[in-house]
Structure 1
Amino acid sequence: MAHKIFKKSCVVLLLLCLFCEAYSQETINITSFGGSPNSYSDVIPAINRALGYCKGKKNITIQFPKGRYDFFPREGSSNTVGMSVYKQNGVTIDGGDSEFIFHGKMQIANVDSSTNIALRNFTVDWDRPFTSQCQVVGVTDTYLDVKIDREAYPYQIEKDTIQFTGEGWKLPVLKMYGTLYDKLNKEIVYNTWDAPLGNIFQSKAEQLAGGVVRFHGKPSIKPEIGTYVALFHIRYGNVGIHIQNSKDVLLQDLKIYHTLGFGLRGERTENITMRNASICVNDQKGRVFSCTADATNFVNCKGVIKVENCAHTGQGDDFINIHGRNMAITKIAGPNTVEFKDARLTTVGDSVWFINKTTAQRGEIRVVSSVKKNKDNYALTFTSPVPANINAGDFAENKTWTAGLELRRCKILKRNRARGLLVTTPKRVVIEDNYFRTAGTAILIEGDLNFWFEAGATTNLQIKNNVFENCLTSGNKNGNRGEWGEAVITITPSHQPQNSSTEPYHKNIRITNNQFKVFDAPLVRAVSVRGLYFDNNRIIKTDKYAPYTWQKSAFLLDGCREVEITRNKLDDKYTTHDVAISHMENSDVKIPDGLFKLNLNATR
């Protein structure tokens, strides 16, 4: 009898706990704070009042009734934030399938110093974006004719120069980019890169009948009639959604049709999840563009970045870029103190690796005890002396803030310039069950000590169960930096091996159980990797595009060790079986089944 009473008491207690938990989930309506759907009035004051109510509370949802909500910039501000979430805990902003319309120079949201934040169920757009577009209707050696929807993309021709106008702005066309998209699929045109038409949009402009503008001069190429051109007016402007100094942030069921810079930027944040949240083209408005830079960019984060069921399109740069920073040392200022050119994302308590530039290997670890910002440098003092082998010109990398990546069931398409994924991190990376159809390389793994300084030598990267279909239509034709990758998967850290005994930069990269549908030879280009496995993949030759690439071998390996290429299945039409090597011994590559052939005469 006592046992039955005890069981009943446990059930009652459990139900009471569940009731209390449900009761603690408070929902407030934006209309209670002055927000009104479809009013075309500024909703930001209402959002600020609602977020003010949430201060000090937990598990609150700000609910928007479905409709249109407008966001306007503050007068004199160049970066008004639509939703500013600061020092909050457990707040969800649920748009209720609404559309959020922004005006002028603005940022969608800023999440700072907050925990357990969710943004969900809304779309974002600008009535007048900071990118315009046109369609080619005529081209000769002396002019280019384009048709511009003047209502969607207003412009003026002043002193023979075109100027596009918007809400409080007037800007020319930037020479960089001018990306071309084909008329049928709105994909990057085969074998085109940045500024494919040269400086034609900076030349003399003449208004013709029927909404046509003629640009006088000789275009660098003659695109097909009907080709779309994205006309950029800004580059790396205001970030769309900025997440910083926070933990456990979720973006779910979002469509971001435009931003002035990165679609999403994450900094010093632990655990960010994007689930069915895409920065994408607004096809209903006939556009070819979305944001002006990377769709997503994460620097010095930690925990795990999870990206699921996303399809970013139309962005001005890559699908995703996850990396740390190689902080360049400008001066050894004392036994425990080092000056860096840039160390803004490193702070007291962080551990850093010191890196000798010659070997590019992570060395001794030190803990930061103080940070001082000087006029031109950051001075970091450590709890123990700087390693003896470190000098000006060497580097340090933040060890504390490094993130893993899980990217699943995404579509990485040929509808944005440049590459697909850029990943440089020492934490576990899993890229699986995705579909790649990219203009440049599908996956780029670098580690940069001489240009962008993006850090993160890999130690555990798995690429499995993906489909790569006709990627690399705008890859490396001549080997120029402005081209977008040498192979479907490109591993090219700036660390260059000097001989066959140089210790590689990256470690443990596994490419398994994928399907490669390729029109050209290159599958993998790899520099400085120890432990590279290409196993149980299927390669199918297509005839969708003409071969053209700089790399003529299936594999081009430089300074790699412990490479194994085995159990792959090749279409009879795929006849390039060469594995070209340099700064390596023959024994560094194992091909047990002999399906691919080590070819020392294959130079590229």
Structure 2
Amino acid sequence: MEIKVDKYGSANCFSVPLTEAIKDLNDGDTLVFENKEYHLFKDFSQERYIHFTNTDSFKNPKKYFGMFIENKKNFNIEGNGATLVIHGDICSLGMINCQNVNINNLTIRYASPNCSELKVIEKKGKTYKFSLPSSQLWYIDDTKKNTVVFFEQSPYTKKNYWEFRNDENSYNGVYHGADGNTVYRIPNQKGVFSGIKSMKRLSATELEIKYRVNKFFKVGDILTNQTNKNRNTCGIFFGECANVKSTNITVNYMAGFAWLSQMCENMSFDHITFKGDKDHIVSSFADLIHICGCKGDVTITNSYFSHAHDDCINIHGSFMRFKEKVDDHTAVFEFVHNQQGGHKNFYPGDKAKFYRRTNLNELPGDFTVKAVVDDLEGKTCKVTFNETLPQNIGEKHLHQSNIVIENKTYCPNVEISDCVFTAIPTRDILCTTSGKVRIHHNIFKHSQMAHIFISDDSMFWYESGPVRDVEIYENKFLLSPSIYSKCPAILIKPITFGKMNSKVHENITIRSNYFLVGRDVPIRAKGVTNLDIYSNTFNGSSRVVTSCCKKSK
């Protein structure tokens, strides 16, 4: 049955009507939008206490959703070209425990992205004139010298959804060059809000700043900032969902983080476009597609990635560190990084592997989860296995636990093909999964760091794990000059808690690719058994740097 959403209320304030329409959604139904804008406000959004990985979730446990669907299966969302306009720094679309879902033909746009964008429109000596997007509300704070306050305000309560001053609560700004391609992070001390002599509001969309020193900005450049020390939400969230196909979706912006799939199964993304709207250049507060702890197959095809403030695609599991032994079959494990945890990481029947942090070598044996007791707020879980725990599970290094565990069931097969990646200040693809990985027929250009990064990290982010079957072929790597001159197109570098002196990854093939090399080397690899690199074309340096690697015979 078709659930036509328009009959539930006005599209001008659609949060409550949409919630009512979703209540009527049953097995086999299609939620049908029309080709127009639907406005969703934080004031009337659905709320849940839930944690998103790779965000500052424990500082912001209460999440708000523009559109929220939970515990439903066998349904479709047909957008027909509709645009969901999000008011407030909220998650635009959330699904939890949903199965067999098709989402088609939607655009997601934030009315006022929580990211400042200042475009240089005039330069006279040390005096710059900037234009701001027409949707951006701002004022000069008279109580604090040379301070701009950016904000978005509720039309209902007149209270601010969010606000920030200059570059407060941020690690850095991001420079988007006038050429449309050059994008890189800049320290705040070199940014648009440093070294100011005076400022003046010229109009609702124009700001004049006089500096004490010369700035490197030129006409057409866009200087951006956001409070990236506080990832308070994510743009789209799928949690513990299965068999979800997203097709022909345009994302103009995402607040807080990314399109996050957490502990899901069989996720498909086809013809997805990440691109700012007509008044904005930034497409995301941080990452674009982020996959954490999924199983089955992840496919990302025919998609366009641009102008995010962090990585385009990151696919990984989560190492949990051994904390204490309960008995011969049971132990407690913990999430370590401050942006990890708050979600389930194991289920009964899952397979698991143990590794040493010092070299990321596997401990002998396969382990099957018998029972799990989660302490989500404490970021721990107590896991009972059918098998006896490794004898050396309590091993330490530099007074820290040296053993981590990975859920091997939640290591998906991955295919990324026929995509374009451009204008990114960090990496295009991070992928660490022991499933079958095929990355092919993509175009990579104008990214500052590695286009493809295969890591496995037991030291900082604890993003697992070792790869076992990777082929990278028939891609174009247009490796432009970068502020990170030593960063290659393809980087394979495990991150261990100590000096790595043995192999971590296995069976990586890099073949039939084209490299336009504007840096020192196109490929760097460390810790790989059976590394095959052949039939590639290099315009520029063809030198491959390897360490602790073994080529296949």
Partner of 2:373: 371
Partner of 1:79: 63
* Match of residue 326, structure 1, among 314, 319, 322: 319
Q: Is the 8 A contact 2:459 2:496 kept in 1?
A: no
Pair 1:410–1:532, CA change in 2 (3 A) = same
| Cα offset, 1:150, TM superposition | 6.4
How is 1:219-238 mapped onto 2 (pairs within 5 angstroms)?
222-234=216-228, 235-238=230-233
The one-character-per-residue Cα deviations of 1:449-474 (angstroms, maximum 9, x if unpaired) are 10001102110001011111134524
Instruction: Kindly indicate whether residue 130 of structure 2 is the aligned counterpart of residue 147 of structure 1.
Output: yes
**Equivalent-residue separation in structure 2 for 1:367 and 1:323 (angstroms):** 20
Q: Runs of 5+ in structure 2 lacking a partner? A: 48-61, 154-159, 336-340, 395-400
Aligned residues: 504
**Equivalent-residue separation in structure 2 for 1:472 and 1:371 (angstroms):** 50
* Match of residue 156, structure 1, among 139, 142, 152: 139
Instruction: Kindly indicate whether residue 181 of structure 2 is the aligned counterpart of residue 187 of structure 1.
Output: yes
| Cα offset, 1:209, TM superposition | 4.3
TM-score by length of 2: 0.85
The one-character-per-residue Cα deviations of 1:324-366 (angstroms, maximum 9, x if unpaired) are 0111123334322322222643233122111122341223232
RMSD over aligned CA atoms reads 2.5
| Cα offset, 1:70, TM superposition | 0.5
The one-character-per-residue Cα deviations of 1:435-459 (angstroms, maximum 9, x if unpaired) are 1102321100100010001102110
**Equivalent-residue separation in structure 2 for 1:62 and 1:208 (angstroms):** 45
The one-character-per-residue Cα deviations of 1:22-64 (angstroms, maximum 9, x if unpaired) are xxxx2221123x144xx412x2222222222223x2x211111
Partner of 1:28: 3
Q: Is the 8 A contact 2:275 2:281 kept in 1?
A: no
- The code of the aligned residue for 2:173 comes to G
How is 1:210-359 mapped onto 2 (pairs within 5 angstroms)?
211-214=206-209, 216-218=211-213, 222-234=216-228, 235-282=230-277, 284-285=278-279, 287-342=280-335, 344-349=343-348, 350-359=350-359
Q: Percent identical across equivalent pairs? A: 21
* Match of residue 388, structure 2, among 364, 385, 396: 385
| Cα offset, 1:553, TM superposition | 7.9
Pair 1:146–1:444, CA change in 2 (3 A) = farther
**Equivalent-residue separation in structure 1 for 2:481 and 2:324 (angstroms):** 42
Instruction: Kindly indicate whether residue 110 of structure 2 is the aligned counterpart of residue 107 of structure 1.
Output: no
**Equivalent-residue separation in structure 1 for 2:411 and 2:379 (angstroms):** 26
- The code of the aligned residue for 1:100 comes to L
SS in 2 for 1:74: helix
The one-character-per-residue Cα deviations of 1:502-529 (angstroms, maximum 9, x if unpaired) are 4300011101111111223301111101
| Cα offset, 1:107, TM superposition | 1.2
Instruction: Kindly indicate whether residue 111 of structure 2 is the aligned counterpart of residue 127 of structure 1.
Output: yes
**Equivalent-residue separation in structure 2 for 1:116 and 1:248 (angstroms):** 5
Pair 1:409–1:319, CA change in 2 (3 A) = same
SS in 2 for 1:436: strand
The one-character-per-residue Cα deviations of 1:173-198 (angstroms, maximum 9, x if unpaired) are 244232111213x2225xx4342753
* Match of residue 555, structure 1, among 531, 544, 549: 544
- The code of the aligned residue for 2:361 comes to Q
Moved more, 374-383 or 105-114: 374-383
Q: Return the structure number with greater helix share.
A: 1
| Cα offset, 1:208, TM superposition | 5.7
Pair 1:454–1:115, CA change in 2 (3 A) = same
TM-score by length of 1: 0.78
- The code of the aligned residue for 1:157 comes to I
The one-character-per-residue Cα deviations of 1:368-413 (angstroms, maximum 9, x if unpaired) are 3222428464333323321002223311111111111111100011
**Equivalent-residue separation in structure 2 for 1:104 and 1:498 (angstroms):** 46
| Cα offset, 1:98, TM superposition | 1.3
**Equivalent-residue separation in structure 1 for 2:70 and 2:127 (angstroms):** 49
Q: Is the 8 A contact 1:200 1:216 kept in 2?
A: no
Q: Return the structure number with greater strand share.
A: 2
Q: Is the 8 A contact 2:305 2:420 kept in 1?
A: yes
Partner of 1:589: none
Pair 1:471–1:534, CA change in 2 (3 A) = farther
Higher Cα Rg, which structure: 1
Pair 1:144–1:491, CA change in 2 (3 A) = farther
Moved more, 443-452 or 166-175: 166-175
SS in 1 for 2:509: strand
SS in 1 for 2:286: coil
Instruction: Kindly indicate whether residue 404 of structure 2 is the aligned counterpart of residue 395 of structure 1.
Output: yes
Partner of 1:412: 421
